[in-house]
A and B are shown apart, each in its own frame.
Chain A
Amino acid sequence: MTEPMYMPKAALENLIALLRGDGYKVLGPVSRDAGVAFEEVRAVSDLAAGVRDSQEAGRYRLEPGVPGEIFGVVNGAGSLKPFFFAPDENLIEVRREGKSFKSSEVIPPPRRLAFVGVRACDLAAVAVQDRIFLHDRFRDTHYETRRKDVFMVAVNCTRSAPTCFCASMKTGPEATAGFDLSLTEMDECFVAKSGSSAGEAMLERLGLRTASAGEAEQARTLTDRCAAGMRRQLDTSDLPRLLYEQADSPRWKEVASRCLSCTNCTMVCPTCFCHAVVDQQEIDGNMSRRVRQWDSCFSLEHAHIHGINFRPRIEDRYRQWLTHKLASWIDQFGTSGCVGCGRCITWCPVGIDLTQEVAAIRASAIK
């Protein structure tokens, strides 16, 4: 990593242009419908600048922000997940050949994606999914293909949403890995750092000067303050044991009375990886696709086998989700399944908050 560089705001335009010139499709937070999502940006003016998000459990609104602020929105429902782990994709095509058939892999079309404005928690989530899809016993080639050739421009958080708790999960608010460039936005400029040789080369092409000690210091203070001011917390001590031991906590029933089992929390979660594999046959029966679609442990079919459903009640499914996220994930992959982005809290229509649920379980366990 190089030393912090001073990057005037206008240079962002340049960065986007250079990336586009290198053949990247550049994606960044763009206002769409009543939210923001990562969509193509051709210029800075496409970004959701000058607006801020107001988030709380079960509620999200975009509001006028600070003029001149480019990355004012902490996050929207969409993370980077759909770009690498596609919500609905064709894995293989099986074609009849006489009495037999031939199966061929459907390889996603090659593309170069550059993301601008990625938050630390989302980078951490990408690392979690990398661990699952790339560094486990079986390697997922579709994920691998989509994940290749990506340029990441992170933005360090200087403001958190009330639903954020990345500090508890040690994933933010400052990006520490997984990026090519990281930016800290200040009133008049960015402080930029590189996180890879590609990033370093990009800094050079942008022709930036080294940031003054004061500028670098100010950037650090902003992220530190953001960390200190984070309202939500999740006490991770004693996990996974706490949740394993509290499998019979009455709290599961209580939360199940509120949970709609609608699957929103899992769908917006940047690390949830469950998927269904379904067959889609052409009407003439000559070709059939095996398609993968995002699935959720909140769906009734998820744990169903012939004659038995292992998790028939909503309380079983809520417990599965929370226990997996915060406990068994650690046993499975050596990392927590939660990065503290707060999406499952905001986007739960009835505002169920996992930090509160854990706190309640912890409290009742002590008694």
Chain B
Amino acid sequence: MTTPYAIYPARITERRAETSGVYTFTMRFTDPGIRRSYRFKAGQFNMIYAFGVGEVPISIVSDPEEPEALQHTIRIVGRVTEVMGRWKVGDIVGVRGPYGNGWPVDEARGRDVVIVTGGLGCAPVVGLINYIFRRRDQYGELHILHGVKTPNDLLYRERFDEWRRAPRTRVYLTADRPDKSWHYRIGVVTQLFDELAVPASSVAMMCGPEVMMRLAARAFRDKGISEDAIFLSMERRMECAVGLCGHCQYREYFACKDGPVFSYRAVRELFRTTGI
């Protein structure tokens, strides 16, 4: 009998600064048995623990086919992540998981995929894009839409450029408040939908501020994409990740075990009201 709250130590084997305040850590469970048996699906997350300080949900961005080397991209925003930002190679951290349902990568196979992110950029989306690139022939056209407030908020600039050069891939970048260095589009992310031409059979996946996702979802529906093929990754406070602590409730759902990825059909009604 093991408590679902049990934590397992993992060693950091690589630390990469993505941009200021965002780091990608590679970590391996120290226990060989756990390391070998651990499996996850694209888009699932782990609870990552800083000794004595706290535990926070962080998506797994590495590929499910290499489950021994887990990668997590962490943005430093507050109490716990500040401590994580100081982690070095060789440090031992705590991991439990994987949790959540992950991205619908199987459903999307063979179809065109539209990926939308906004605001400060979403680590899980990078994992998803990488996942698709590694299996590029299994998917149709790939559209990546990303909107930021200012050019400074654009993380992974080189990666966007790299993706842009890839075959059957289109990248749309826009900024609300551009500066001289900005040579992409200007305006909010939703303006990009007008020029986006995708078949109704496409699958849309998104992650970002709720307002953005709500508008994007509506735009896709207007393009004829079924509500069941539009997916949103929802963020809620999580203290247990196993559906017991109650914090991630989203009306009838628990974001940790029923999500964090939901179809638009499932949550559309909840967008009507604020404060849920």
Contacts and interface: CB of A to CB of B under 8 A. Distances in A.
Contacts of A137: 242-243, 257
Contacts of A92: 3, 5-7
A94 B5 CA distance: 12
B199 to A, nearest CB: 34
A331 B8 contact: no
Given A247-B276, A248-B273, A285-B52, A274 B247 contact: yes
Interface string B24-64: 00000010000000000000000001011111000000000
Nearest to A285: B52
A315 B275 contact: yes
The 3 closest A-B pairs by CB, nearest first: A316-B275, A274-B246, A331-B252
Nearest to A290: B5
Contact of B3 (A141, A281, A327): A141
Nearest to B90: A99
Contact of B7 (A103, A274, A285, A310): A103
Interface in A218-275: 240, 244, 247-248, 273-275
Given A96-B51, A310-B275, A323-B251, A101 B243 contact: no
A240 B251 CA distance: 11
Interface in A278-304: 279, 281, 285, 288, 290, 292, 295, 297, 302-304
Contact of B245 (A281, A295, A319, A328): A295
A279 B80 CA distance: 11
23 contacts: A92-B5, A92-B6, A94-B7, A94-B94, A99-B92, A100-B9, A102-B9, A103-B94, A105-B5, A105-B6, A132-B244, A137-B243, A247-B276, A248-B273, A274-B247, A279-B54, A288-B51, A290-B55, A302-B247, A303-B247, A305-B236, A312-B275, A332-B254
A320 B7 CA distance: 31
Contacts of A140: 3-4, 244
Interface of A: 91-92, 94, 96, 99-103, 105, 132-133, 136-142, 144-145, 240, 244, 247-248, 273-277, 279, 281, 285, 288, 290, 292, 295, 297, 302-307, 310-313, 315-316, 319-320, 323-324, 327-328, 331-332
Given A288-B51, A305-B236, A101 B1 contact: no
A247 B7 contact: no
Contacts of A319: 275
A323 B53 CA distance: 33
Given A276-B239, A311-B275, 17 more contacts: A91-B3, A99-B91, A103-B9, A105-B2, A138-B4, A273-B244, A288-B52, A292-B245, A295-B246, A295-B247, A303-B237, A305-B235, A306-B78, A313-B275, A316-B274, A319-B275, A332-B254
Contacts of A305: 235-237
A310 B240 CA distance: 18
A254 to B, nearest CB: 15
Contacts of B240: 275, 277
A288 B49 CA distance: 12
Contacts, number: 135
B249 interface: yes
Interface in B184-199: none
Contacts of A133: 244
A304 B273 CA distance: 17
A275 B237 contact: no
Contacts of B91: 99
A279 B49 CA distance: 10
B92 to A, nearest CB: 4
A244 B269 contact: yes
Contacts of A105: 2-3, 5-6
A85 to B, nearest CB: 10
A294 B216 CA distance: 38
A247 B249 contact: no
Nearest to B249: A324
Contacts of A276: 239, 245
A138 B237 contact: no
